[in-house]
Amino acid sequence: MNVPRSLFEDVLPRFDATEVHDVWVAAPPQVVFAAAKQVTVREVRLLRPLEAMRALPGLLARRPVFRPSPSARMLDQFTTDVVPLGERAGTEIAAGAIGRFWRLVGSDPAEVRTREDFLSFDEPGYAKAAISFLVLPERGGSRVITETRVVGTSPDATRAMLRYWRAIRLGSGAIRRLARRDPPPLGSFGTTNTHPRPRMADSLLTVQWRDRSFVLRAPEQVEELVRRLRQKGLANVAVSISGAVSEGKTGSEKVLSDEEREAVCGVLTDAESDPALRRAFSLLCAEPEPSEET
């Protein structure tokens, strides 16, 4: 599956942390994209309770706190002072915000109103955060990919943001999974046949690059490789590999491009505990030996 260049590569190419989730939906891309854009705060079940917990210190201190409107789009109010960062019609939409999100009382949002403000902002002591929805056609339905990236504008802000990121990661990940998994607006477009992609059934994936190939077992070994790629911010490669596993078949094949091969070699080592991954590194990543002259 060829994954197009993400909007993030233009608005937030450098980042300190990222989180990516994807799901297969049994509906056409144009339907899923329209639904993803319109998901409201009310429809994402964990968003309001988690925001309430985050606002508790401010309430106790009797200070104004951020309370997302239940009827607002999640893309507009996933935090305070959200700005649109771009849209590719029918495919991808992104939004972002700048603040000191780690503060218990008020995130001190920066004065940004436009995409250009977001891109040019460089005042130390803040963090930029952005979220995107990407919808791609796949197997008669759609693959929905959500990604969040954050980057600090100075070393002290980066350290504070990463501490906060580790603390909220489970909750924020759950919000994004619910946002893409349960999109009620799909019903208004004439289909309610939506569900997460089932776990890959036990099968084998043959991975090939040029004249080299190795085999991974799905789901365990394939999912481990995909997990590592996502942690490195290589969501496009991760989705391309996981999407190559054909459900209901005992064998599938994935041919790597040179860029994908480089990405895979970046997350494997010659000290893998799993023999299949160790063999993958040996076959895929070792430089070819020079031929002996006769």
What is the DSSP track for 214-280? Answer: EEEEETHHHHHHHHHHHHTT-HHHHHHHHTTSPTT-SEEEEEPPHHHHHHHHTT--TT-SSHHHHHH
Mean pLDDT of the chain: 76
Separation CA 195–CA 25 (nearest Å): 6
Q: Determine the Cα angle at 155 with ends 153 and 172, to 5°.
A: 65
User: pTM of the full predicted structure?
Assistant: 0.56
Look at residue 87 in the predicted model and tell me its pLDDT.
93
Would you say 229 and 264 are in contact if contact means Cβ atoms under 8 Å apart? yes
| Selection from 18, 229, 39 nearest residue 130 by Cα | 18
Q: Contact at 8 Å (CB) between 107 and 99?
A: yes
Task: Give the pLDDT of residue 114.
Answer: 94
- C-beta of residue 61 within 8 angstroms of C-beta of residue 176: no
6: three-class secondary structure by DSSP: coil
Question: Three-state SS for 211?
Answer: coil
DSSP state for residue 40 in the 8-state scheme: B
Largest Cα–Cα distance in the chain? 84
Domains and CATH numbers, the chain: 8-189 (3.30.530), 203-285 (no CATH)
The CA-atom distances, in angstroms, between 191 and each of 34, 40, 125, 167, 215 are 12, 18, 46, 37, 38
Bridge partner list, 144: 23, 135
Q: What's the pLDDT at 188?
A: 31
pLDDT at 173: 47
Whether the Cβ atoms of residue 16 and residue 150 lie closer than 8 Å to each other: yes
**pLDDT computed for residue 123 by the predictor:** 95
pLDDT beneath 50: ranges in the chain: 1, 46-50, 52-53, 55-61, 65, 171, 173-201, 289, 291-294
Please give the pLDDT value at position 220.
82
